[in-house]
Amino acid sequence: MKRPLSLCTVATLAGLAAGPALAAPLPEAAQTAVLRALDDEYHAEAVYAATLAAFGDVRPFSNIIKAERKHQAALLDLMKTYDMVAPANGYLTGDKPLEALPATLQEVCAVGVAAEIENARLYDEDLLPAVMRYPDITRVFTALRDASINNHLPAFQRCAAGGGQGKGKGNGQSKG
């Protein structure tokens, strides 16, 4: 005779069945959006790594590169949930071209300002609309967009205004 399942067991099984590990495959437009977001994070990491190699361990780059890696991890988790294959960072491997850095740290910071503004536009106009039917992806994308606007952009603005001398007075790397 089979033993009846406890209420706790039923609730656990129901949670597993409804959980993201069993998510249906994403449509092509949503997959493309996730891959574009990951590519954007990969590109940022490569630019910041090149900046650190060229100018030393300078802020805000030394902090923001850590945030970019956290952003990548969030996107890679989504890809795992939806059984997507994650590419390597082609900018770091040399498979994708990386533009030359400007001559001064202040100029690199100014490029960072423009890149963060473009990043917010990318999320608002292209990526978020493609995943609006997926609340988990929307949450991650919104958090990444907000980190660009609320944390990274002000840090790059301070850096550009301060002659490329990061003062470490931003919201901190733990803020995204």
Predicted confidence (pLDDT) per residue in 31-43, tens digit: 999 999 999 999 9
Mean pLDDT of the chain: 85
SS (H, E, C) 144-169: HHHHHHHHHHHHHHHHHHCCCCCCCC
- Please give the pLDDT value at position 146: 96
> Is residue 16 assigned to a domain?
no
Residue 162 falls within a domain, yes or no?
yes
Q: Is 11 inside a domain boundary?
A: no
Q: Kindly report the pTM of this predicted structure.
A: 0.80
Predicted confidence band of residue 24 (pLDDT cuts 50, 70, 90): confident
Range of the domain at 143: 27-169
Q: Is residue 10 part of a domain?
A: no
Which of the pair, 2 or 23, is modelled with greater confidence? Answer: 23
CB 92 within 8 A of CB 121: no
Quick check: is 80 in a domain?
yes
Q: Do the domain assignments include residue 18? A: no
Residue 176 forms part of a structural domain: no
Query: The domain that contains 68 carries what CATH number?
Result: 1.20.1260.10
Residue 44 binned pLDDT confidence (cut-offs 50, 70, 90): very high
pLDDT for the residue 121: 97
Residue 19 covered by a domain: no
Per the structure, the count of domains in the chain is 1
Q: What tokens appear for 168 in the block?
A: 């470490």
Six token digits for residue 26:
């994403």
Cα–Cα distance list, 137 to 14, 29, 45, 71, 115 (Å): 22, 13, 21, 12, 22
Q: Is the pLDDT of residue 16 over 50?
A: no
| pLDDT tens readout for residues 71-91 | 999 999 999 999 999 999 999
